[in-house]
Amino acid sequence: MGKVKNTILILILVLLCGSLYAVESNSIKHEKWDSSIDQMSVNPVSGNLIIGLNDGSVKGYNLQTGKWTNLIEPNSILIQMLIFPNGKNMIIALGNDQIKLYNFKTKKLLALPSFLSPVTQMVITPDNSNLIVGMDNGFGCGAIEEYNFSTNKWKTLHRPDWNSTVNSMVTASDGRLLIVGLSDGSVKLYSFISKRWFELHDNSWKESVEKMLLIPGDKTLVVGLEYGSIEEYNLITGKWTELHNDSFLSGVNDMYYNPKTNKLFVGLSNGELEEYNCNTSKWTLLKKWDYSVLQITMLDKKYFVGLSDGSINVI
């Protein structure tokens, strides 16, 4: 009898509130894509939403007009997509080991000289001058290479002697630090000043690093792990703090931090969008979809969530 009452109560709540989640959402209309949304970002100059699909195509969405523009046609599997801090160019890494540069003004797509090695991660330095690339030597060993856009030359920052792949990378806002998360769960730091590598965490987590972000101010690093654990590292004190254990039981696909609200948003493989209030240390389930949350970004005070079924939801 108790279960029946609980079921009736839940139905009443759904009818009255419309949802059991903390937020409502609606999706952006577009032609049906037979590809997941693997990358999503906002051009800081045009304000357009840029999305990259698994098939290698890239599209732009104008929030004011509601119109979509095809920027790059399907090619090879899209590994990563980055927009330069100045908004002039975009870099894409493809599954055929190519790295290509796209200019938003000329609409030209140029291939960079590559090592013909699988690219796993990329970051652009804050001054738009260099591209940092995490590569796999083909045997699961990660390496870090740096490409200078002015000289068109590559430089090795770390040889492929890590016995794990590069899963995530972030740079400090002043360009002095590079932080690398590996598939064995370890976290490394490279100083562009001293030209030295340091270990921030060993592989004792027994979970691969899936996603990292630096909170503005470059004092706090947030690390999302393979089974949903969220760890925080203070770069000033050198101390680690657990924000959430692995009870999510689902991999961290993406994270987004809103500095105005001091809230962290986490997208999980099980379709959940979780919110962490950094002021109260409280977690809230905002929404759950039937498909994995792959990308989260913010545009015009709204959150855009890209799912594995190719849909884009706005909350």
- Determine the pLDDT at residue 24: 64
> Is residue 14's pLDDT more than 60?
no
Give CA separation, 43 vs 46, 88, 112, 132, in Å: 6, 9, 21, 20
Using CA atoms, how far apart are residues 134 and 114, in angstroms rounded to an integer? 12
The 8-class DSSP code of residue 248 comes to G
- State the pTM of this model: 0.90
Beta bridge partners of 275: 265, 284
From 210, 213, 240, select the one nearest 226 (Cα to Cα).
Answer: 210
Using CA atoms, how far apart are residues 305 and 104, in angstroms rounded to an integer? 23
- Residue 280 has a CB neighbour count (10 Å cut-off) of 10
Using CA atoms, how far apart are residues 162 and 300, in angstroms rounded to an integer? 41
- Residue 33 has a CB neighbour count (10 Å cut-off) of 17
- Determine the pLDDT at residue 87: 96
Beta bridge partners of 63: none
For 270-281, the pLDDT digits (tens) are 999 999 999 999
Provide, rounded to the nearest whole percent, the portion of the chain with pLDDT above 90: 80
Using CA atoms, how far apart are residues 21 and 286, in angstroms rounded to an integer? 5
Which of 32-41, 111-120, 232-241 is modeled with the greatest confidence? 232-241
Domains of the chain: 30-314 (2.130.10.10)
* Sequential DSSP letters for 101-127: EEETTT--EEEPP--SS-EEEEEE-TT
- Residue 36 has a CB neighbour count (10 Å cut-off) of 19
Give the distance, in angstroms, between the CA of residue 291 and the centroid of all CA atoms in the same chain.
17
> Is residue 25's pLDDT more than 80?
no
Using CA atoms, how far apart are residues 192 and 106, in angstroms rounded to an integer? 33
Across 98-102, 134-138, 184-188, least confident range: 134-138
Q: Mean pLDDT, to the nearest integer, of 41-69?
A: 94
Using CA atoms, how far apart are residues 107 and 48, in angstroms rounded to an integer? 15
Using CA atoms, how far apart are residues 59 and 244, in angstroms rounded to an integer? 35
Using CA atoms, how far apart are residues 51 and 197, in angstroms rounded to an integer? 33
> Is residue 9's pLDDT more than 50?
no
Question: What value does the mean pLDDT of the chain take?
Answer: 90
For 151-178, the pLDDT digits (tens) are 999 999 999 999 999 999 999 999 999 9
* Sequential DSSP letters for 1-38: -HHHHHHHHHHHHHHHHS-SSSS--EE---PPPSS-EE
- Determine the pLDDT at residue 30: 72
Using CA atoms, how far apart are residues 287 and 270, in angstroms rounded to an integer? 11
For 59-112, the pLDDT digits (tens) are 999 988 999 999 999 989 999 999 999 999 999 999 998 999 999 999 999 999
